[in-house]
Amino acid sequence: MIKRALGLLVLAVAMAGLSACAHKGQGGNADAANGSFAGTLRNDAAAASSENTGWSLGTSTGQTIVMVDVSKAPEQAKALEGKRVVIRGQMSTRNGPNGTTVAVLLADQIEPSQD
């Protein structure tokens, strides 16, 4: 029960972070209703583990917003690494280290940003 509550809290914080970045003009945003998330797609394969996908969506200043699971769109991810993108997908959680829960964006589609 506590792990589920923590997972929901982490998910809420991740969504708030995406929204806050959009309002502050830091290059990230989200529209939770339709599952569209924008930011800079980054790959850190060295960080990949059972808790970390190795991919993240970040702000233009390099701050990580959320981890991204690109398993449904690996070629799109490779082609757009380091660029501003729009990711269509849904938020989920994974079990993290020491019983924590980590927010992860499950990417269905990754496209270049039009801005």
Model pLDDT for residues 17-66, shown as the tens digit of each residue: 444 344 334 444 444 434 899 999 999 865 656 666 789 999 888 888 88
* Topology (CATH level 3) of domain 2-112: OB fold (Dihydrolipoamide Acetyltransferase, E2P) (2.40.50)
Q: What is the pLDDT of residue 83?
A: 96
User: What are the Cα distances from residue 32, in Å, to 25, 53, 80, 109?
Assistant: 18, 21, 22, 15
Confidence of residue 5 (pLDDT cuts 50, 70, 90): very low
Q: Which residues of 31-62 are buried (b: 16+ CB within 10 A; e: fewer)?
A: eeeebebbbbbbbeeeeeeebbbbbbbbbeee
SS3 31: strand
Structure tokens at 19: 């929204």
Please indicate, yes or no, whether the overall pTM of this predicted structure exceeds 0.85: no
